[in-house]
Copies of this chain bind each other. A is one copy, B any other.
Amino acid sequence: MSEYSKSTRTKIKDCFKFLSQEAREFSLGGAVQSLDAVPSALAFYREFVSPNKPVVLRGLIDHWPALTKWSPTYIREKMGQQTVTVTLTPNGYADAVHCGKFVMPDERRMTMGEFLDALDHNDHVPGVPYIQKQNSNLADEFAPIIDDVESDLSLGSEAFGKAPDAVNFWMGDGRAVTSMHRDPYENLYCVVSGWKTFILIPPTDQPFVPYVLYQAAKYKLKDSGEFEIEDDTDSGQVPWIDIDPLRPDLTKYPDFANAHRYEVTVNAGETLYLPAMWFHHVRQSHGCIAVNYWYDMDYDIKYNYYKFVEKVMDVVK
């Protein structure tokens, strides 16, 4: 490589740092904001959605019966015999890179009663259980308790001008971790019980958070109670991020040191607006229950710029 081209590449990489720093200094700020009063849909859109800034909203779901009702006892009473889909992993990491593969969890159908027993470590279910099926499971498997929450959030439907694309129920083990990734959805994430801690990285930092292709695989729980990893040849290669923001391997990913990490804990009764395309890593309290609303994102000028940065990354990688 010539000195000249080295210098061009280095200068482009400096541009990535400039973008990250300007976004933080002039737009995003140093920490995730919290609001004690629910903003109007217009103010929410203008101050947070349009500039793609996360925010914690208090008071949005105060009126939900779920906030007081959803104890394990109540859920067992209403849902005990209901069949639900539960993911199982040996280590709490579903949809994460492990041994050089992108490993998806095993999925089991069991009654809600069996799932709650598993959370209580009544050991007939091995591994770490997590209800995290992201296919609008609330209206489907959780129909018996759906009236305790809202099928839509008026703030969301008014601001985004559409109904949510999916509404999901989440309940899981304290060991379950969602590995870092981004979604092409605007996300309103409501914690009903316990807490979730999000590590967030803005899309303007994407040059420091590389996606790499991995062979898709799946955990398979054997009758012996042990997990095996099996290649998922149907899925082929999957792009994913092999960086744990809690213990980043900076030898392998030195650029990740440039990524600015925002950390925010969302407690019961609070809602996180998690903007589309933000990288996020999530951990939670044991038995944490949450409901989230996904709205299709707009593929607007922000997205065009995002893809431009991605393309420039390809040129200098």
Q: Name A's B-contacting residues (CB within 8 A).
A: 1-2, 4-5, 8-9, 11-12, 15, 18-19, 22-23, 26-28, 41-43, 45-46, 49-52, 158-161, 203-204, 298-309, 311-312, 315-316
Q: Which residues of B contact A316 (CB under 8 A)?
A: 8
Q: Contacts A41-B42, A50-B50 hold; do A304 and B26 have CB atoms under 8 A apart?
A: yes
Q: Name the prevailing secondary structure of the A interface residues.
A: helix
Contact between chains at B45 and A305 (CB < 8 Å) = no
Oligomeric state, in number of copies?
Answer: 2
Contact: B301 with A23, CB < 8 Å?
Answer: yes
**Is B11 a contact of A304 with CB atoms below 8 Å?**
no
Q: Knowing that A42-B159, A45-B50 are A-B contacts, what are 20 other residue pairs whose CB atoms are under 8 Å apart, sorted by A's residue number?
A: A4-B5, A8-B9, A12-B315, A18-B307, A18-B308, A19-B307, A19-B308, A19-B311, A22-B307, A27-B301, A27-B303, A41-B42, A42-B42, A42-B161, A46-B161, A49-B50, A52-B300, A203-B301, A302-B305, A312-B312
Residue of A8, A160, A304 contacting most chain B CB atoms (<10 Å): A304
Interface centre among A15, A309, A316 (most CB of B within 10 A): A15
Report 16 cross-chain contacts, Cβ distance below 8 Å, ordered by A residue: A2-B2, A2-B5, A4-B5, A12-B12, A12-B312, A12-B315, A18-B308, A18-B311, A19-B307, A19-B308, A22-B304, A22-B308, A42-B159, A42-B161, A46-B50, A52-B300
